[in-house]
Amino acid sequence: MSKDTYDIRSRWLPDGEGPDDIADRSLRTLDQLKTINPTISNWRIIDWSNWTDVALAEVRSQMPAFVAQNVHRHYEDNLPDPSGGYLMFAKSADEPGAGWSPNMSHLDITAGSKRSNSLDFSVGSLEAPPDLSLVTYPLYRQALEIIASNWPVPWGWARCMHWSDVPSKSWTPPPAGSTKEEWLASMAAVQPPGPIEMLWILYLSAPFVRGLAPPSELKCDPTPGGGVILSAMLERPDPNNADHMRRARLLGQILEERIGEGRYPALWGPRIGPY
For the stretch 26-68, pLDDT in tens is 999 999 999 999 888 899 999 988 889 999 999 999 999 999 9
What burial class does residue 26 get, using C-beta atoms within 10 Å of its C-beta: 0-12 exposed, 13-18 middle, 19+ buried?
buried
What burial class does residue 31 get, using C-beta atoms within 10 Å of its C-beta: 0-12 exposed, 13-18 middle, 19+ buried?
middle
Q: How many CB atoms lie within 10 A of CB 162?
A: 20
Is 70 within 8 Å of 48 (Cβ atoms)? Answer: yes
Range of the domain at 228: 2-166+181-259
Q: Which amino acid is at 78?
A: N
Q: What is the pTM of this model?
A: 0.86
- CA angle (87 as vertex; 18, 35 as ends), nearest 5: 90
- Residue 116 has what pLDDT? 87
Residue 268 lies in a domain: no
Can you tell me the mean pLDDT for 84-96? 91
- Residue in 67, 28, 21 with CA at minimum distance from that of residue 46: 67
For the stretch 258-274, pLDDT in tens is 887 655 554 567 898 89
Residue 174 lies in a domain: no
Residue 92 lies in a domain: yes
Q: Would you place residue 15 in the very low, low, confident or very high pLDDT band (cuts 50, 70, 90)?
A: confident
Give the C-alpha separation, 189 to 52, whole Å.
42
Residue 120 lies in a domain: yes
pLDDT above 50 for 165: yes
Is 228 within 8 Å of 203 (Cβ atoms)? Answer: yes
Give the C-alpha separation, 135 to 39, whole Å.
12
Can you tell me the mean pLDDT for 72-80? 83
- Residue 191 has what pLDDT? 59
pLDDT above 60 for 166: no
Dihedral (Cα; 226, 227, 233, 238), 10-degree rounding = -170
Mean pLDDT check: name the lowest of 99-103, 117-121, 259-263. 259-263
Q: How many domains does the chain have?
A: 1
Residue 124 lies in a domain: yes
pLDDT above 80 for 184: no
- Residue in 108, 101, 117 with CA at minimum distance from that of residue 17: 117
Higher pLDDT, 180 or 85: 85
Residue 266 lies in a domain: no
- Residue 259 has what pLDDT? 87
Higher pLDDT, 118 or 189: 118
Give the C-alpha separation, 27 to 119, whole Å.
14
Residue 175 lies in a domain: no
- Residue 266 has what pLDDT? 47
Give the C-alpha separation, 203 to 10, whole Å.
9
pLDDT above 70 for 256: yes
Residue 138 lies in a domain: yes
Is 239 within 8 Å of 2 (Cβ atoms)? Answer: yes
